[in-house]
Amino acid sequence: MKAAILAALAALAVSVSGCQAMTGYPPPTMTRAEALKTVEADSSPNAEAAYASAPNEVARQAVRDRIVRARIYAIDVNYHEFTRSISTEQKAFAVGSDLAVLALAGAGTLAKSSHTQARLAAWSAGVLGGRSAIDKEIYFDKTLPVIIAQMEASRRTALVPLIGGLSQPDSDYPLLQAKVDLETYYMAGTLPGALNAITKEAGKQAAAADQKIENITEAKYAYTDAGKRIRAFWKPDGAVDPAHAKALNDWLAANAGGISIPEFFRGGGTAAQQGAVIEALKIP
């Protein structure tokens, strides 16, 4: 009986924690629907008709500005609702599953029947397995704060051309261009957009690191006296001399295992080999 009661309390804990979770956000001043209602007129398709029928450029710019600001606000409202919801759902399930596991564990210690104990253990494992799957597949384990931080950074970057565009006349920044920038701003606040930005940034960092390693390697090896002489022979005016490159490659194939010219003059060859090629090819 006690085991059954505790199991019921565990299920209740999951349900209650899902409704009463600590979200980390203060209550909004308006609901999402109320906030979107305030800009409905300027963010609807009808507003574009008013833009198209405006009598002159000054009037078009005024309509354009209202449309763009309204849609920025609408995107912001939806974005903040989205980030609140994913944070709330993650915390709700985490707290609820922890309470459920604790309750089921307590029930297992009180249960007298081995059959009941086995069932409670299976339920507990199921709760833990469900939480692990949600953490890994939906919330990327512990990376959600990083993804949200990237979305915030990407949104600020995407907002720059919109703010700059609103300072220009309609002839230089028409509504069509603003709509393209609005779509970029929207995508910056999505999970795929954030992951794409993170991937690009990682690629840039890797390329920068590779370049630094390359520079260090060149600094260490290419600027010895022998290295500089071989490099100047290979690229006398900063460009490869085909005849000299062929002579170097032929010598390397016969005497240095066929290593590449860049590797050789950066230190891939021994000091004796560098001296030998300088002598053999009469490198000044």
Model pLDDT for residues 103-131, shown as the tens digit of each residue: 445 444 544 555 555 554 555 555 455 55
Residue 233 and residue 106 share a domain: no
Q: Count structural domains, the chain.
A: 2
- What pLDDT is attached to residue 188? 93
Residue 230 and residue 132 share a domain: no
pLDDT in tens, 256-273: 777 777 777 665 667 788
Both tokens of residue 176?
């069509």
Share of the chain above pLDDT 90, in %: 30
What is the identity of the amino acid at 15?
S
245 or 180, which is more confident?
180
pLDDT greater than 90 at residue 245? no
In a domain, 198, yes or no: no
> What distance in Å separates the CA atoms of residue 164 and residue 203, rounded to the nearest whole number?
29
pLDDT band per the 50, 70, 90 thresholds, residue 283:
confident
Lowest pLDDT segment from 18-32, 58-72, 196-210, 237-251: 18-32
Count of C-beta atoms within a 10 Å radius of residue 253: 11
For 98, the domain range is: 2-141
Task: Report the SS3 class of residue 29.
Answer: coil
> What distance in Å separates the CA atoms of residue 88 and residue 80, rounded to the nearest whole number?
12
Residue 12 and residue 127 share a domain: yes
pLDDT band per the 50, 70, 90 thresholds, residue 94:
very low
In a domain, 103, yes or no: yes
In a domain, 76, yes or no: yes
In a domain, 45, yes or no: yes
pLDDT band per the 50, 70, 90 thresholds, residue 183:
very high
Last residue of a domain, one of 141, 164, 192: 141
In a domain, 262, yes or no: yes
pLDDT band per the 50, 70, 90 thresholds, residue 89:
low
Last residue of a domain, one of 88, 111, 141: 141
Mean pLDDT value of segment 80-101: 61
pLDDT greater than 90 at residue 166? yes
Residue 235 and residue 130 share a domain: no
Residue 134 and residue 34 share a domain: yes
Mean pLDDT value of segment 123-144: 54
Residue 262 and residue 134 share a domain: no
In a domain, 123, yes or no: yes
- What pLDDT is attached to residue 207? 79
What CA–CA distances, in Å, run from 151 to 91, 139, 201, 213? 20, 15, 13, 31
In a domain, 252, yes or no: yes
Residue 9 and residue 134 share a domain: yes
Both tokens of residue 184?
């970029």
> What distance in Å separates the CA atoms of residue 258 and residue 135, rounded to the nearest whole number?
52
Last residue of a domain, one of 118, 141, 164: 141
Q: Burial of 6 by CB count in 10 Å (0-12 exposed, 13-18 middle, 19+ buried)? A: buried
Residue 28 has what DSSP assignment?
P
CB 4 within 8 A of CB 106: no
Residue 128 and residue 15 share a domain: yes
Residue 128 and residue 13 share a domain: yes
Mean pLDDT value of segment 186-206: 87
- What pLDDT is attached to residue 269? 66
